[in-house]
């Protein structure tokens, strides 16, 4: 490991960035250096600008993908190398305000029923039942399941924030069935390597297979179940603030985007056209 990389890793550790974020940032910086064929400390604002155009025009990356590279380079030059020009010169692209596709309750049932493996089905059911990110589910421990209070403890979520979420009685039954099968002692869903949780890749692959088996044509990832959780709660009358706490969002604005997806709530609103006074029937003469 080079001294610059070591320094950047230490800076990220001091700021308590998530391990996945640290790996991502280091990877982005390494690709940037390979593209420019020079050490990062020898490069400047014009090189960063040229690299951004390369990602957009040559690699044809989506704005959301470019955002990660920009964030890594801003951290490198602003925090680690302390370059004053980094704040104004490294500008992240504007993210498009797209809406995710949401599964209906019937599609969720079809999807989960199409997963033959008990472990994969239990993991993805937990994603939907509690609105958890896949990484959060895979890092659950046996001790995180509190059947007395009917809550689950989510440790070290996004932004390193802990929270509690509801424990569905139906989910608890499924978790107990899974526990009786393998008797895990530490991680609720242990991986093949001893002492490590299950890897994301296996679950993502199981998700793709289940989508094919179920015949669902909508785009579907484990995160789609988190979106469905939020929208289905909103459509059933749960207030936005409660959903924010369950999802672990820092800002209510992030949660409020689900208002645009709750069609049974938003689209059921009466149009003002239907509230207008009825016009006088045609052919009649107005009374004097």
Q: Which CATH architecture has domain 105-266?
A: Orthogonal Bundle (1.10)
pLDDT greater than 70 at residue 283 = no
What pLDDT, in 10s, does the model give residues 175-193? 999 999 999 989 999 998 8
Residues 140 and 148: their CA atoms lie apart, in Å, by 17
Question: 2: phi > 0 → left, psi -120 to 50 → alpha, else beta; which?
Answer: beta
Q: According to the model, what pLDDT value does residue 126 have?
A: 97
The whole-number pLDDT of residue 252 equals 83
**What is the average pLDDT across 65-75?**
93
Q: pLDDT class for 217, splitting at 50, 70, 90?
A: very high
Q: Would you place residue 157 in the very low, low, confident or very high pLDDT band (cuts 50, 70, 90)? A: low
Helix axes 19-36, 3-14, angle to 10 degrees: 150
pLDDT band at 264 (very low <50, low <70, confident <90, very high): low
Taking residues 200-215, what's their average pLDDT? 95
Which CATH fold topology does 3-89 show? DNA polymerase; domain 1 (1.10.150)
pLDDT, position 284: 54
Whole-number percent of the chain with pLDDT over 70: 93
Report d(CA 231, CA 99) in Å as an integer. Answer: 12
Residue ranges in the chain assigned as alpha helix (H):
3-14, 19-36, 45-53, 63-74, 86-89, 105-113, 118-130, 134-138, 169-182, 200-214, 222-235, 240-247, 252-256, 263-266
- Give per-residue pLDDT as tens, 110-145: 999 999 999 999 999 999 999 999 999 999 999 999
Residues 6+ apart with CB under 8 A from 64: 95, 96
pLDDT digits (tens, 9 = 90+) for 221-234: 999 999 999 999 98
Instruction: Quote the pTM value.
Output: 0.74
Strand-pair category, 163-166 with 151-154: antiparallel
Catalytic machinery residues: 133, 158, 223, 226, 249, 258
List the domain boundaries for the chain.
3-89, 105-266
Average pLDDT over residues 16-27: 91
Average the pLDDT over 58-81 and give the result.
Answer: 93
Mean residue pLDDT across the chain: 89
């Amino acid at each position: 490991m080079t001294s610059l990389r070591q320094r950047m890793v230490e800076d990220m550790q001091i700021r308590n960035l998530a391990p996945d974020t640290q790996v991502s940032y280091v990877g982005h910086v390494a690709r940037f250096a390979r593209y420019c064929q020079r050490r990062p400390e020898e490069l400047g604002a014009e090189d960063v600008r040229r690299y951004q155009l390369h990602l957009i025009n040559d690699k044809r990356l989506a704005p959301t993908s470019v955002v990660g590279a920009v964030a890594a380079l801003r951290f490198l030059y602003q925090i680690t190398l302390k370059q004053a020009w980094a704040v104004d010169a490294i500008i992240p692209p504007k993210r498009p305000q797209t809406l995710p596709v949401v599964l209906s309750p019937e599609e969720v049932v079809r999807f989960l029923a199409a997963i033959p493996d008990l472990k994969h089905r239990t993991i993805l059911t937990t994603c939907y039942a509690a609105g958890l990110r896949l990484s959060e589910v895979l890092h659950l421990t046996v001790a995180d399941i509190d059947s007395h209070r009917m809550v689950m403890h989510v440790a070290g979520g996004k932004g390193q924030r802990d929270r509690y979420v509801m424990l569905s009685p139906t989910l608890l039954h499924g978790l107990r069935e899974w526990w009786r099968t393998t008797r895990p002692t530490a991680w609720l869903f242990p991986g093949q390597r001893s002492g490590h949780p299950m890897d994301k890749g296996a679950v993502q692959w199981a998700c793709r297979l289940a989508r094919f088996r179920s015949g669902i044509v909508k785009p579907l990832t484990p995160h789609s179940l988190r979106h469905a959780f939020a929208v289905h709660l909103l459509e059933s009358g749960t207030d936005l603030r409660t959903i924010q706490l369950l999802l672990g969002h820092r800002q209510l604005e992030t949660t409020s985007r689900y208002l645009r997806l709750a069609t049974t709530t938003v689209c059921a609103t009466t149009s003002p056209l239907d509230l207008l006074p009825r016009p006088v029937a045609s052919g009649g003469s107005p009374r004097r």
